[in-house]
Amino acid sequence: MLLAAALSALFTVSPARAADGRITGLAGKCVDVAGANTANGTAVQLYDCNGTSAQTWSNPGDGTLRALGKCLDVTSGGTADGTTVQLYDCNGSAAQKWAVSSANDIVNPQANKCLDVTGNNSANGTRLQIWTCSGGANQKWSAPASGGGTTPSGFVVSEAQFNQMFPSRNGFYTYSGLTAALSAYPGFANTGSDTVKKQEAAAFLANVSHETGGLVYVVEQNTANYPTYCDWSQSYGCPAGQAAYYGRGPIQLSWNFNYKAAGDALGIDLLNNPWLVQNDSAVAWKTGLWYWNTQSGPGTMTPHNAMVNGAGFGQTIRSINGSLECDGRNPAQVQSRVDAYNRFTSILGVSPGSNLYC
Rounded distance between C-alpha atoms, residue 222 and residue 129, angstroms: 46
Rounded distance between C-alpha atoms, residue 303 and residue 203, angstroms: 9
Question: Which residues are registered as beta bridge partners of 143?
Answer: 17
Q: Tell me whether strands 70-74 and 143-144 are parallel, antiparallel or unpaired.
A: unpaired
Burial class (CB in 10 A: 0-12, 13-18, 19+), 208: buried
Quick check: helix, strand or coil at residue 32?
strand
Contacts of 122 (CB under 8 A, 6+ apart): 26, 27, 29, 46
Q: What single-letter DSSP state applies at residue 126? A: P
Nearest residue to 271 (alpha-carbon basis) of 287, 253, 258: 258
Contact 358, 314 (CB under 8 A): yes
The residue from 200, 211, 220, 325 that is catalytic is 211
Residue 211 is among the residues annotated as catalytic for this protein: yes
Catalytic residue numbers, as ranges: 211
